[in-house]
Amino acid sequence: MDLAHLLHRSAMQFPERPLWVTPETSIPYAEAARRANRIATSLLQGGQQRDRVAILSVNRFEHFEMFLAALNAGMAATPFNPKLHVDELSFMIEDSTPAFFVFSPEFAVTVKTLRARHTCVQHWICMDPVAGFEYYGNLMEGVGDARPDLLIDPDEVAWLFYTSGTTGKPKGCMETHRNLVNMVTGRLLSILSDVDETDRIIHFAPMAHATTSVGLSHLARGAAQIFPGLEKFDPPKVLEAVERFGATSSFMAPTMVQMLLNCPDLESYNVKTLKNILCGGGPLYAEVLRRAIEVFGPIIGQGYGQSEAPSGVCGMHKSEYDLNSPDGLGKLGSVGRESLGVRVRIVDEHGKEVAPNVAGEITVRGDIVFPGYWRRKEATDEVLKNGWLHTGDVGYRDDRGYIFITDRVKDMIISGGSNIYPREVEEVLLQHEAIAEACVVGVPDGVWGEAVQAVVVLRENAAISPDDVIEFCRSRLASYKKPKAVDFVDHLPKNAYGKILKKEVKARYWQSATGAI
């Protein structure tokens, strides 16, 4: 089955229910399917099956519409993160060679620069009328409503997803129709099992990120997709939008959840319509999760995956995080059990499976695992070995099959021969009432090789000393794991998806050292 079938199936089941919802309009499923068909037909008139369709846009429904229309045309949707620099966008165009580049007018100046650099793009299409560019609305003129009659191989690329590039140049992950259909069905059988046609998912995270994949699961159930028109993630405006639209679902990165919890007027908004907040895209610390459940109720679920195995390796249903039982509290640090159709092995440095409760690298096999990186065979061979995806994540599986992510392999600190996982220390730091954000890295040490360095952001008006922080950790961790030093900063560097850039944090401490970072 091809991924675009999700739209057409829901359009047959729920033709009059709303799909695209904005402050100005509401488009029902049947009309949305006709629009996607017309756009797909126009794409095929200007290109051919298996072309790439690049999308650069703020969060508006046309982004998701074009994503689906590209699939409808048998092409690969290639969304670009709108927060990236023009040179980063230029690299991705050069790498993916899209035939179409669809953008919202906010990026017209940037796109003029890109157009001057790249001749591979045949059609530069703006979502609003802008002089000098093709107009998005014209794609729906002069063509029929029928879906293009194409044979789409389930192993063809549906979504060319570019990694965030935290370890170098971004790589294009080839996510196939088979990968993504399995992701959707796996979610609906587990962490999003209660989603139906009455639901309304509201999109705050960039559409180039996992919010689209969560939106696909809601699309399969006939739910509405809300685009509130916010320029950025502003907690008061986010809460107001949830209240205004009666949203029932949302995908949020952990940093977004933390921002909502820190909103001083949080209790003045009525967000009781929310029944699912699905978290992903970074570590959800146990203390942040506990506070979120206390504030919002038992509506927080979690999915674990990565671009190479899209968001479907493991999942934890919201009902399993129970703050009123020791068992539920013990699961706060877990990302759940492996998803349907997915096998997870935890292996040592020799590739041998380890015992329960022993940390090792998480490896994955199943129909959600991507076939490789776009035009990067060497990089593909580094992560796909003997049919297993090596995720680069360190974790362990307990006796009941729950998986706990400890850290990234590359972030592990080796001090005096002992392995120290930064996330474990960060979890403790965030229990301190004065600390808003924390990052732990290894820094050069002449005696121990590496030492534990904490870099923290304090809450507003909070005042503590480095010794206070070290003593707090000493009382909750083995002595060798406590920070040797603590630095206070106003903010931590983050990438376009809100992940803390540990490499940049480490750089300031390794500038005078010879070791690579």
Contact 285, 310 (CB under 8 A): no
pLDDT at residue 503, as a whole number: 86
Closest listed residue to residue 1, CA positions, set 161, 174, 183: 183
Residue 19 falls inside a structural domain: yes
Residues 366, 499, single domain; the answer is no
Residues 427, 340, single domain; the answer is no
Residue 369 falls inside a structural domain: yes
Q: Both tokens of residue 458?
A: 């304090």
Instruction: Specify which residues 135 forms β-bridges with.
Output: 126
Residue 253 falls inside a structural domain: yes
pLDDT at residue 199, as a whole number: 99
Residues 175, 102, single domain; the answer is yes
Residues 364, 501, single domain; the answer is no
Residue 314 falls inside a structural domain: yes
Spans of the chain, pLDDT less than 50: 514-517
Residues 447, 299, single domain; the answer is no
Q: Where residue 253 sits, what CATH number does that domain have?
A: 3.40.50.12780
pLDDT at residue 517, as a whole number: 42
Residue 117 falls inside a structural domain: yes
Residues 306, 419, single domain; the answer is no
Residue 267 falls inside a structural domain: yes
Residues 199, 322, single domain; the answer is yes
Provide the 10 A C-beta neighbour count for residue 337. Answer: 20
Residues 6+ apart with CB under 8 A from 238: 204, 230, 256, 260
pLDDT at residue 168, as a whole number: 64
Q: Both tokens of residue 352?
A: 């041998």
Residues 439, 322, single domain; the answer is no
> What's the number of CA atoms in the CB half-sphere (13 Å) around residue 22?
12
Angle, helices 29-46/5-13, rounded to nearest 10 degrees: 150
DSSP summary character for residue 83 = T
d(CA 229, CA 244): 13
- State which of 362, 395, 428 marks the end of a domain: 395
pLDDT at residue 516, as a whole number: 42
Domains: count for the chain: 2
Residue 402 falls inside a structural domain: no
Residues 389, 432, single domain; the answer is no
Q: Where residue 501 sits, what CATH number does that domain have?
A: 3.30.300.30
pLDDT at residue 167, as a whole number: 52
Residues 6+ apart with CB under 8 A from 339: 186, 187, 190, 312, 313, 314, 315, 366, 368
Residues 192, 312, single domain; the answer is yes
Relative to beta strand 449-458, strand 485-488 is parallel
DSSP summary character for residue 325 = S
Residue indicated by tokens 């982004």: 63
pLDDT at residue 91, as a whole number: 95
Residues 101, 188, single domain; the answer is yes
Residues 370, 459, single domain; the answer is no
- Which residue range is the domain that position 428 belongs to? 414-514
Residue 98 falls inside a structural domain: yes
Contact 241, 248 (CB under 8 A): no
d(CA 503, CA 439): 11
Strand ranges across the sheet with 449-458: 435-445, 449-458, 485-488
